Amino acid sequence: MSETPMRARAVVDLAALRANVRALRARAPRAQLMAVVKADAYGHGAVPCARAARQAGAQWLGTATPQEALALRAAGDRGRLMCWLWTPGGPWREAVEADIDISVSGLWALQELTGAVRAAGRPARVQLKIDTGLGRNGCQPADWEKLVAGAVDAEREGLIRVTGIWSHFACADEPGHPSIQAQLAVFKDAVAYAEAQGLTPEVRHIANSPATLTLPETHFDLVRTGVAIYGISPSPEVGAPDDFGLRPVMTLSASLASVKRVPGGHGVSYGHLYTTPGETTLALVPVGYADGIPRAASGTGPVLVGGKWRTVAGRVAMDQFVVDLGGDSAHVGDEAVLFGPGDRGEPTAEDWARATGTIAYEVVTRISARVPRVYVGEYDSDMCDQGNSEHDNEVDDTGDA
């Protein structure tokens, strides 16, 4: 993409995303797949990624907030769609009218929702969430009987339909962690109890990307894959993307804004944390923490310039950082690749995570709106041989202005 005349760009390879979705479906052949596209599809762009995931057969989309889910409906998506991060005030009615599956973790939510349903005049699709040990959202096992009883009553009254029972893992990215089997046992009990009370969920689900990749016994009826559809491994312990046939979807690069010779002993960037060891060439990479480059990459972040890995010299500033090219030359406008799939020798998002003490999820998700997303692979040959069997799941192009 070096011909793209932009300061910086995040190239998003939708053909890779589709291939990743297919690879994940093949790993969970008896389950449906939910493509998790929260947080603007982990920074990749929610609407184009949702559409690509649907094209590759994702039966479900998942978001955190109802606003994210409603935005997908506004863009024309008509397939199954769930969101799980609710606060008092909803918007319940809008979600019911938009046919969104609503996660409910407590009686307060069920009460607000059923009140809104009376106004909407149609039943809500509800998925009950049990906290099997993550300790975040979800109903505590001790409160499960009450929540299930409330849901059974609301279903009898025709106000809701319980479409799912679900939970979320705490440590699935650490294969063999004892909490995994413990959470699974609590989950099975919670499902059995709810079914014994008369609930008939269509989908029971607990698997995120790491569980989808490493724990077939957690797949149940549906797997919720986020980071893996973007070609990123959940953790080094789980493996490399390649081990699972996954390919990173985002490539972040920038055009050098300055290349100049400086003498030895020259301080570089705020605080002069770096001083040139001798006469050298400094190149200015025009992205900074306002673009989502972690300031923690100061002195550590890897960048490919002129075929070689360089390291961020000194501080990452709001809009820019510097690399020392040593004895090598370069030209303004040359491409600096921060991360990508790695085939051109560039670092990966995992390399950035290691260099900055975070996880690759954060590296891609934090890339800000100031960096334009450039979509490639939107339409190519692999879409012709799918038979479009999931016609209901297609995203309608017309709404996506």
Ligand X SMILES: *Cc1c(COP(=O)(O)O)cnc(C)c1O
Cα separation, 205 vs 25, whole angstroms:
15
Residue 213 CB, shortest distance to ligand X, in Å, is: 9
- Whether residue 270 lies in the annotated active site: yes
Cα angle 276-281-282, degrees, rounded to a multiple of 5: 75
Residue 30, annotated as binding a ligand: no
In the chain, what is the straight-line distance between the N-terminal and C-terminal CA atoms, in Å?
Answer: 24
CB-count exposure of residue 211 (10 Å: 0-12, 13-18, 19+) = buried
Can you tell me which of 168, 204, 247, 315 binds ligand X, judged by CB under 6 A?
A: 168
- Whether residue 38 lies in the annotated active site: yes
Name the residue type at position 199: L
Those residues with Cβ within 8 angstroms of residue 74's Cβ, 6 or more apart along the chain or in another chain = 399
Can you tell me which of 11, 36, 159, 330 binds ligand X, judged by CB under 6 A?
A: 36
Which one is catalytic: 38, 129, 230, 361? Answer: 38
Q: State which residue, 125 or 168, has the beta carbon closest to ligand X.
A: 168
Residue 205 CB, shortest distance to ligand X, in Å, is: 9
Cα separation, 168 vs 179, whole angstroms:
12
Number of helices followed by number of strands (H, E) in the chain? 11, 19
Cα separation, 246 vs 76, whole angstroms:
28
Q: How big is the site for ligand X, counted in residues (CB under 6 A)?
A: 12
Q: State which residue, 166 or 321, has the beta carbon closest to ligand X.
A: 166
**Interface of this chain with ligand X, residues 235 to 264, rule: CB under 6 A:** none
Instruction: Kindly state the DSSP code that residue 49 receives in the 8-state scheme.
Output: H
Contact status: 21 vs ligand X (CB under 6 A):
no
Lay out the site mask for ligand X across 313-332 (x = CB under 6 A, - = otherwise): --------------------
Q: State which residue, 132 or 208, has the beta carbon closest to ligand X.
A: 208
Q: 3-state DSSP call for residue 380?
A: coil
Residue 310, annotated as binding a ligand: no
Which structure tokens are listed for 24? 């994940």
**Interface of this chain with ligand X, residues 178 to 237, rule: CB under 6 A:** 208-209, 224-228, 234
Q: State which residue, 27 or 38, has the beta carbon closest to ligand X.
A: 38
242 close to 1: Cβ distance less than 8 angstroms = no
Residue 94: name the closest of 111, 107, 113, 78 by CA. 113
Which one is catalytic: 146, 270, 308, 379? Answer: 270
Q: State which residue, 41 or 252, has the beta carbon closest to ligand X.
A: 41
**Interface of this chain with ligand X, residues 50 to 89, rule: CB under 6 A:** 84
Catalytic residues, by residue number, are: 38, 270
* Residue numbers belonging to the annotated binding site: 136, 318
Residues at the interface with ligand X (CB under 6 A):
36, 38, 84, 168, 208-209, 224-228, 234
Binding-site annotation, residues for substrate: 136, 318
